[in-house]
Chains A and B, each alone.
Chain A
Amino acid sequence: MIRVTRKVEFSAAHFYHNPNFSAEENRRIFGKCNNPHGHGHNYTVEVTVAGEPDPDTGMVVNLKELKEILEREICDRMDHRHLNYEVPELAGQIPTCETLAALIWRLLDGKITRGFLDRVRVYESSDVFAECTLEPNGRASHSGETLGEKVRRA
């Protein structure tokens, strides 16, 4: 099996605030990230697709197609946006990099044109990242099948 990773970057604003917590609890739990004016990051997203290369093309997945999918699903939705207000899929959630990694997995799931989605990593900075994978027992058993196909088959 071969893993292919494509990287995209986007810049966005966010802050952490849970309306169920008091102002003091929000400050204690989220620290500086609770600043209501928000702050921002240059996010880097690494998307890994796994599978066997197509014997005709030598490719696990066509990177041009993958790039277009990542730009549509990730960058068009999040680049130069305020994640708390402008990304409906994040409504009611705290936009941490854990939340973003799981959301990006769900946005890409079933849309990869070949191979299967193996890993999504979201770097908030060069020193912090969240990673989303399937739980080990959920790993797709062979290449050429997207998670969407696997779930539909199950």
Chain B
Amino acid sequence: MSHPLKVTLTRRYRFAASHRLHSRNFSDERNRELYGKCSNPHGHGHNYVVEVTVGGPVDPATGMVANLGELDPFVQREVIEAFDQRYLNEEVPEFREAVPTTENVCREIYRRLKSFPSARLERVRIEETSNNSFEYTS
């Protein structure tokens, strides 16, 4: 069967961080109305799960789209070290301006991982809680 198949590899990572949803473009009252409890000035946190999907040809010599021995340290360095046990609003420079909604976190993690050299980044999916997930594809 010569029909072209697409194979991707997905790996789940975890980090825990705090954040506060608050936009300086809105009044305090509008922030409370819009973001509700998430706008609490002292912040709150989540155990985030990040699913990273990479695609590309399966190397016949290794059977792999990407070697987890390369992907793991790359994600660790680019994302986990910068996000884990941090206050996203203050400690991740991009969120001093952008509101750290998980939509924006998804996009930022995608941006940080896009340069993975050994395979094409296909998707970043984040579970903020077991009930809420967000997905960013190119």
Instruction: Determine whether A62 belongs to the interface, using a CB cutoff of 8 Å to chain B.
Output: no
Q: Are B6 and A106 in contact (CB under 8 A)?
A: no
Instruction: Determine whether B3 belongs to the interface, using a CB cutoff of 8 Å to chain A.
Output: yes
Classify the secondary structure of B's interface with A: mixed
Q: Specify which chain B residues have a CB less than 8 angstroms from the CB of A29 in the assembled complex.
A: 62, 67, 69
Q: Are A130 and B62 in contact (CB under 8 A)?
A: no
Q: Specify which chain A residues have a CB less than 8 angstroms from the CB of B65 in the assembled complex.
A: 98, 130
Give how many A residues have a beta carbon under 8 Å from the other chain's beta carbons: 34
Instruction: Determine whether A24 belongs to the interface, using a CB cutoff of 8 Å to chain B.
Output: no
- Given the interface pairs A18-B61, A29-B67, A29-B69, the reply to whether A131 lies near B8 with Cβ below 8 Å is yes
Q: Are B62 and A96 in contact (CB under 8 A)?
A: yes
Residue of B1, B62, B63, B68 near A109 (CB, 8 A) is: B1
Q: Are A130 and B3 in contact (CB under 8 A)?
A: no
Instruction: Tell me the A116-154 residues at the B interface (CB within 8 Å).
Output: 126-138, 147, 151
Proximity string of chain B (1-32) to chain A, C-beta cutoff 8 Å, 1 when within and 0 when not? 10111111111100000000000000000000
Proximity string of chain B (54-85) to chain A, C-beta cutoff 8 Å, 1 when within and 0 when not? 00001011111101110000000000000000
A146 to chain B, nearest CB (A): 12
Q: Are A101 and B6 in contact (CB under 8 A)?
A: no
Give how many B residues have a beta carbon under 8 Å from the other chain's beta carbons: 22
B84 to chain A, nearest CB (A): 16
Q: Are A138 and B8 in contact (CB under 8 A)?
A: no
Instruction: Tell me the B28-43 residues at the A interface (CB within 8 Å).
Output: none
Q: Are B6 and A134 in contact (CB under 8 A)?
A: yes
Chain A minimum-CB-distance residue to B2: A151
Q: Are B4 and A135 in contact (CB under 8 A)?
A: yes
Q: Are B4 and A138 in contact (CB under 8 A)?
A: yes
Q: Are A147 and B3 in contact (CB under 8 A)?
A: yes
Q: Specify which chain A residues have a CB less than 8 angstroms from the CB of B53 in the assembled complex.
A: 131
Q: Are A130 and B5 in contact (CB under 8 A)?
A: no
What CA separation (Å) do A131 and B4 show in the bound complex? 14
Q: Are B10 and A20 in contact (CB under 8 A)?
A: no
Instruction: Tell me the A1-36 residues at the B interface (CB within 8 Å).
Output: 16, 18, 20-21, 29-31
Contacts A98-B9, A136-B6 given; 8 further ones with Cβ under 8 A? Answer: A93-B60, A98-B63, A128-B68, A129-B10, A132-B6, A134-B4, A147-B3, A151-B1
Which residues in B have some Cβ–Cβ distance to A below 8 Å?
Answer: 1, 3-12, 53, 58, 60-65, 67-69
What are 12 A-B pairs with beta-carbon distances under 8 A? A93-B60, A94-B64, A95-B63, A98-B7, A99-B58, A106-B1, A127-B12, A128-B9, A128-B68, A129-B10, A130-B10, A131-B7
